[in-house]
Amino acid sequence: MTFKFQNYNPVVSIATGSNISDNSPVLEADRCSLEEHFPGVELIPRQGSCAVVGNSGILNNSSCGDFIDSHDFVIRANMGLIKGYEVDVGRTSDLNAFNRATLLKYGHAIRAAKKSVERDRFLEHVRTLKESILWYPKSLTKLGGIHRSSVNYRSVINETRKNGLSGIRFAFNWKPIRVEKAWGLRRIATLGLDMYAVARTFCANINLFGFYPFYKDLEGRDIKYHYFDDVKFNYSLNRAHSWDLEHRKLKELERQGKLTLIVRDCKPRKQIPV
């Protein structure tokens, strides 16, 4: 996959003699070429359709893999497993976002003196991503020192390169994504919401998979927190995110035609003989 500049001309503030004063911090805007001012920066081209894939157990037995892979661009979360789950979650991964907890887990495992299961699991998974982009949307800096996330992220990059995985590219933000105010959230936004917010900037049509913060599906069947493990999770006790509020806002956007939440099976389930 090759990302090229799409005639992108960001607005950049330029200080000129006519607008510099002690009283006004406002600068006139001039148009510039991103390629000229930031050589080496790549942009994701405009995409017709994007699949944003969360990790909810709603994906188990959904047979949504082919549908997910049919999109022009696929965004995944937190290194969710692909191998062994292709029928339900597909194979394609163009961009893989991860949160601070995932970065901390793998960063510590990589820097540990002894090899660990988590380190091996990280490398095995990254090998399946081929030419994907690994993206950390939160802050890598802090005032007055080096943020530990920056150290962990550097460890992830170095380990990937050391193992010959040259097809993997890395992306990070100059400033962390903060969508809470715009969305009216009282708590930290989930990684899934960050992924959707970014997808809106280059995707014409967006389908969300694995976005389902509930214990039972629409047919009343029990579902797991993650499709790839048996981790127990209590949404009401976890106060870091506004699960219900985020879901309601996504449902409202769906009613407005701005996205589609895929919360049912993509193909009929095979009936198991009694």
Q: Which residues belong to the active site? A: 241
User: Is residue 222 within 8 Å of 98, Cβ to Cβ?
Assistant: no
Query: From edge to edge, which strands make up the β-sheet containing 95-97?
Result: 169-172, 133-136, 95-97, 73-77, 47-53, 203-209, 260-262
User: Is residue 269 within 8 Å of 60, Cβ to Cβ?
Assistant: no
> Rounded to whole angstroms, how far apart are CA atoms 191 and 173?
14
> Rounded to whole angstroms, how far apart are CA atoms 139 and 148?
10
Two tokens, residue 269: 């389930």
